[in-house]
Amino acid sequence: MTDASTRIDETIKANDVVLYMKGTKSMPQCGFSSRVAGVLNYMGVDFADVNVLEDPEIREGIKVYSDWPTIPQLYVKGEFVGGCDIITEMTLSGELDTLFEDNGVAYDKEAANKIREANA
């Protein structure tokens, strides 16, 4: 394992929910990262954010680690969930709620329902 994948592995194992993104959860620096961070923030999910723009090794390493070419990338309980499109679909279908519930991740069900109502 490279240094980057070791660090990624440690971060993912140390946190229930991790978002590898461009920017931070309080200041996203791309639309896709902003959308996923916005959903998680709105739903009140406690998550670790990793700004790939600050670390070129992690930025490339995360793509190799997950075998997924784009950022953002969401991990829940050590498992890669997906990028922006997948998270958006899962939020709207209710699958993200189920994933959080199955993994004991606290979130605001009412907020999740509001997102679905707004996009219905």
Q: Residues at the annotated binding site for [2Fe-2S] cluster? A: 30
Q: How far, in Å, CA of 34 to CA of 21, rounded?
A: 8
CB 50 within 8 A of CB 21: yes
Q: Which two tokens stand for residue 65?
A: 């680690």
Binding residues, as ranges, are 30
**63 phi and psi, to 5 degrees?**
-70, -35
CB 100 within 8 A of CB 107: yes
Q: How far, in Å, CA of 78 to CA of 17, rounded?
A: 8
